[in-house]
Structures are given as structure tokens and as C-alpha cells.
A = this chain, B = another copy of it.
Amino acid sequence: MTIGILIFPQVEELDFIGPWEMLTMWNLVAGGPKCLVVAESPGPVTCAKGLSVNPHVSFQDCPELDYLLVPGGQGTRTEVRNTNLLDFVAKRGSKCKAVLSVCTGAFVLHAAGLLAGRKATTHWGSLDRLRALGDVTVIEERFVQDENVWSSAGVSAGIDLTLAFIASVAGDEAAGEVQFASEYYPSSRRYGSHHDTHPSAPAYARDA
């Protein structure tokens, strides 16, 4: 079993490395699938905040995938018009047991034809843009599962998405092993009041 994690220029770092950490930990501590970072071409990819990462495989070399995760970032604004990338996501994604998006990766899934008619979410700053697509039911939760299509809110939300996905595939005990190994018992501290007072703050983050 293999999970492909797509990257592209201006991909947001934590969007894919949060899930990467959880998925590779699953592989290490609880027998989860092998994980590969996949890019259109070989060679370094510069992320949105300037980190430089070398993919393991290009589209051409990429083996069969059982799962495909599509992260977000500023680069998605370009990639939703990259027919080579969309073709890869459409062809590979439609054969996968599940596809997952983080943040604005939802727009790549949509442009590849995998999100129409689904419930989904994205980064709070792009919820209205996701609604405007017209054929997605936008849910303001930390992450959303609609059958075999999973999507999360912005950036760090990919970690929560991935743990829930692991629990769904392998059970709560496996997810618990991953959570413990990566010591993911995050603080609930909220700094400032943006989560509650910003007009675009997502429903799930607002104070009760």
C-alpha cells in the first residue's frame, strides 16, 4: 500500500508535512502504508515560505497509489490551471481508495473533477471562494469526510484530518499509537481574538 503526497511550487509547508509526519509515523509504529512525496518533475520544489524539498518521485515515475493527499498554499492558484497536474490528480485520484485535501488543496481536487457534489472544507480565507464554485457543500468544520473524499481547514488542520483518516482506515488504537509517538496533545491556548471576532473566522473555531 502506498500513499502519495503531492507537492508543487508554492505549496504551504505544514499543509503537507503535518500529514507526512502522521502518515510516516503510522508506517513506522503501526504498519501503515509507505509514503511518497510526488511532484510533476524531478528536482527541488520551493514551498510557499521558502523551504526547498526534493520529491521522491515525479508523475512519470510514480507507482500505483492507494491514497492521494493534495495540500494547499498559494501555488494552488496556478496549479488549478496546470492540465498536466490536474490530469495526474484526476487519473490517479479516481483509482485511489480515498483522496484527501488540506487547506486550498480542495480547489485542486475540484479542478480535477473530484469534489463536485461533495461536502468539503478549506482554509477560512477561501471558504467563500469554495462556496462560489456552486457544486460543493461547504462545511465549516476542522475537517470533513464525504465517503472517500476527505478535506480539511487550513494549514495545521491537515494533522487532525490525517489522524481521523488513520483511525477510519486502521482503527482508534493505530491512530492512538501515531498520536502518542508524535506527542500530538496540542495546547488549547488561543492567542488574541481573531478566531472569534474576524468576519471570516470558521464556525468550528469560534468560542461557544
Contact = CB atoms under 8 A, between A and B. Distances in A.
Interface of A: 12-14, 17-18, 20-21, 24-25, 27-28, 35, 37, 44, 49-54, 56, 103, 123-124, 142, 153-157, 159-160, 163-164, 167, 172-173, 175-195, 198, 201-202, 204-205
A78 B182 CA distance: 21
28 contacts: A12-B21, A17-B51, A18-B18, A20-B51, A21-B156, A27-B49, A28-B49, A35-B50, A44-B54, A51-B53, A52-B54, A53-B53, A103-B183, A124-B183, A142-B186, A142-B187, A153-B183, A154-B183, A156-B159, A156-B182, A160-B189, A164-B189, A179-B190, A179-B192, A183-B202, A184-B186, A185-B195, A188-B188
A153 B155 CA distance: 21
Contacts of A124: 180, 183
A190 to B, nearest CB: 7
Contacts of A154: 182-183
Contacts of A12: 21
Contacts of A14: 17-18, 20-21, 182
Q: Which of A49, A163, A177, A191 has the most CB of B within 10 A?
A: A191
Contacts of A25: 49
Contacts of A164: 189
B194 A176 contact: yes
A185 B204 contact: yes
For the complex of A and B, 8 pairs with smallest distance between CB atoms: A176-B192, A154-B183, A24-B49, A180-B194, A14-B21, A175-B191, A176-B191, A52-B54
